[in-house]
């Protein structure tokens, strides 16, 4: 009987100690700083990245000019953003192979033509300054020509 009583008290007190630790502070109304829900507020904020969207795969016909949109959203701490487009040997760029992004949000069409059937790759390299530190983003698009 004494063992059961001692065991019950130890469990009750251990639970209350943990509860007090997790709910301490804030006038007994909320979570203390040791609680996992409060720890998330102490984490450093993540910086926003440039959002670049282009098709991952595009199926086209031989000798047909195709235009693919590159959609972008640029956070305010990025500047001097330039894009270089390179293609495999079976593709020819109709649009410029280099251009600059000067707006915070928009769309730029990349036009190309396929000369031969097969699978090719288009590579976009995006260069920018983020808080005066150079950063590079790379996007690839697979082109299947029939």
pLDDT greater than 80 at residue 40: no
- Residue 9 CA: distances (Å) to CA of 13, 24, 66, 80: 6, 22, 76, 67
For the chain, what percent of residues have pLDDT higher than 90?
62
pLDDT greater than 70 at residue 20: no
pLDDT greater than 90 at residue 30: no
CATH code of the region 51-145: 2.60.40.10
pLDDT greater than 90 at residue 143: yes
Burial, 35: exposed, middle or buried (Cβ in 10 Å; 0-12, 13-18, 19+)?
middle
Domain layout of the chain by residue ranges? 2-42, 51-145
- The candidate with the shortest Cα–Cα distance to 140, out of 50, 57, 49, is 57
pTM beyond 0.75, yes or no: no
Distance CA 61, CA 104 (A): 34
pLDDT greater than 90 at residue 94: yes
pLDDT classification of 2: cutoffs 50, 70, 90: confident
């Amino acid at each position: 009987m004494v063992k059961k009583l001692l065991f019950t008290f130890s469990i009750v007190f251990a639970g209350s100690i943990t509860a007090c630790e997790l709910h301490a502070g804030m006038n007994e109304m909320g979570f203390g700083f040791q609680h996992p829900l409060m720890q998330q507020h102490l984490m450093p904020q993540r910086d926003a990245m440039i959002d670049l969207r282009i098709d991952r795969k595009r199926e086209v016909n031989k000798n047909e000019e195709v235009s693919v949109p590159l959609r972008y959203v640029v956070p305010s701490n990025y500047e001097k953003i330039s894009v270089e487009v390179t293609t495999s040997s079976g593709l020819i760029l109709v649009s410029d192979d280099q251009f600059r992004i000067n707006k915070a949000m928009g769309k730029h069409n990349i036009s190309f033509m396929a000369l031969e059937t097969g699978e090719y790759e288009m590579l976009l390299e995006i260069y920018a300054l983020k808080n005066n530190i150079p950063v590079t983003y790379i996007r690839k698009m697979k082109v299947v020509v029939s």
